Amino acid sequence: MKKFATISVVILVIALGIFVWWRYFFVFSEGVKSGDLNYFEKKGILFKTYEGRIVQAGFQSPSAGSLQSNEFRFSVIDESVADELERAGGRFVELRYIEYIRPVPWRGASEYVVTEVLEVDEPRRDKNVPVR
């Protein structure tokens, strides 16, 4: 009976470890997003993390009859990437990111973690609006 209990506990611990790894550390997807960097800040109470948002071209409709801007909220772990984004406020940026299934507090508030800044351009201007 003792051998069965030991084997059961070992299997349970392994299964729990696999579940936690899959839920919080498994890279679900990778990709590139681009848009105008709306804000980028360092915030948090216990864990200070970098959080940002880019506004992409176009609109999305979360419910019938409503429109809102298409936003991409993200976190940043790497200090060099954070430094580059801090200097790119209001500009058009192209970002490489990885997506986790769930965030963990020390990695940031978002499932999306930006790993690299591919491009930073000047803000796009509407051709019909004069520049002052």
CA 118 to chain CA centroid, nearest Å = 15
What does the pLDDT average to over 103-124? 88
What's the whole-number mean pLDDT along residues 44-52?
A: 91
Report domain extents, the chain.
Answer: 27-121
The string of pLDDT tens digits covering residues 5-34 is: 899 999 999 999 999 999 998 889 999 999
- pLDDT tens digits for 52-89? 999 887 666 566 665 666 889 999 999 999 999 999 88
Please enumerate in sequence order all residues whose Cβ is within 8 A of that of 83, keeping only pairs 6 or more positions apart, or say none: none
pLDDT of residue 127: 53
User: What pTM, to 2 d.p., does this model score?
Assistant: 0.75
**CATH hierarchy code of domain 27-121:** 2.40.50.140
- Residue whose structure tokens are 């709306």: 38
